[in-house]
């Protein structure tokens, strides 16, 4: 198995370039991040070049974080801001050669939120050849988030009908709300662009909790790209990495 360190949670107490070096030292095969925009892209690229790691993906910015926003793409009337955020993410991804861009839809329930999301996703897919990802977030952690289930995401991906639009399948979020992970992974494999994981229900390391990741990873043994470790270490990241050698061996 190959694994990617999500630096939004792992080594989050360090500057992003230092976290990239820490991931390399720990034995990860790649990295990914959330919102790198406060760090010059040239600094991130230098760290990636020095370590030989690739950046699998990053997120579009969330909007007014203090005001509780968590994405802009499904918010009617905010299309200009949403598309500016998409453009910013593409430009950053181009500089560091990130593989994918997770377009965050935000909290929305208006009747035209669906149409707004679809329109902005089409804009994103036209604007880049990089993979555009959409990710359902579970209703416990993100109540009111527009995209909540893999069925909803699958329907939207079909409606947008662009080859570079894919599903971010986060085993934690799907485990919290849908379950039946290995079946869902097999059924959705043709549209999955990236897979992430964490324990359920506490979003910790994958060595405890309700999900048997030895079973899940066995089912994903032939998955061609690194799986994303997006879990909250709850302290020193290095102290939580016993699972990494276990599942890589």
- Which positions are catalytic? 135, 230
CA 137, 142, 145, 148 torsion-angle sign: positive
Q: DSSP labels for 209-244?
A: SS--HHHHHHHTTT-SSPEEE----SS-GGGGTHHH
Strand pairing report for 192-197 and 100-102: unpaired
Structure tokens at 230: 């997006």
CB-based contacts of 67: which residues, under 8 Å, 6+ apart? none
Q: In what order do the strands lie in the sheet with 57-59?
A: 30-32, 3-6, 227-229, 192-197, 165-170, 131-134, 100-102, 57-59
Structure tokens at 109: 């329930």
């Amino acid at each position: 198995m190959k694994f990617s360190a999500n630096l939004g949670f792992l080594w989050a107490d360090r500057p992003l370039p230092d976290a990239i070096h820490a991931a390399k030292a720990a034995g990860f095969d790649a990295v990914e991040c959330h919102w790198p925009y406060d760090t010059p892209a040239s600094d991130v690229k230098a760290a990636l070049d020095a370590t030989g790691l690739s950046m699998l993906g990053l997120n579009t910015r969330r909007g007014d974080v203090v005001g509780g926003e968590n994405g802009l793409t499904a918010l009617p009337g905010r299309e200009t801001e949403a598309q500016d955020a998409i453009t910013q993410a593409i430009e950053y991804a181009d500089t560091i050669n990130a593989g994918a861009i997770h377009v965050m839809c935000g909290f929305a329930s208006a009747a035209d939120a669906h149409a707004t999301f679809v329109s902005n996703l089409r804009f994103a897919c036209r604007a880049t050849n990089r993979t555009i990802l959409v990710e359902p977030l579970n209703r416990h952690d993100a109540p009111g988030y527009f995209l909540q289930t893999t069925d909803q995401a699958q329907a939207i991906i079909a409606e947008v009908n662009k080859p570079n639009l894919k599903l971010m399948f986060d085993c934690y979020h799907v485990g919290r709300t849908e379950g039946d992970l290995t079946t869902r992974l097999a059924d959705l494999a043709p549209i999955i662009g990236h897979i992430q994981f964490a324990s359920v229900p506490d979003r910790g390391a994958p060595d405890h909790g309700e999900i048997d990741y030895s079973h899940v990873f066995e089912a994903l043994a032939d998955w061609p790209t690194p799986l994303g470790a997006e879990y909250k270490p709850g302290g020193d990241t290095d102290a939580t990495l016993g699972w990494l050698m276990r599942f890589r061996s």
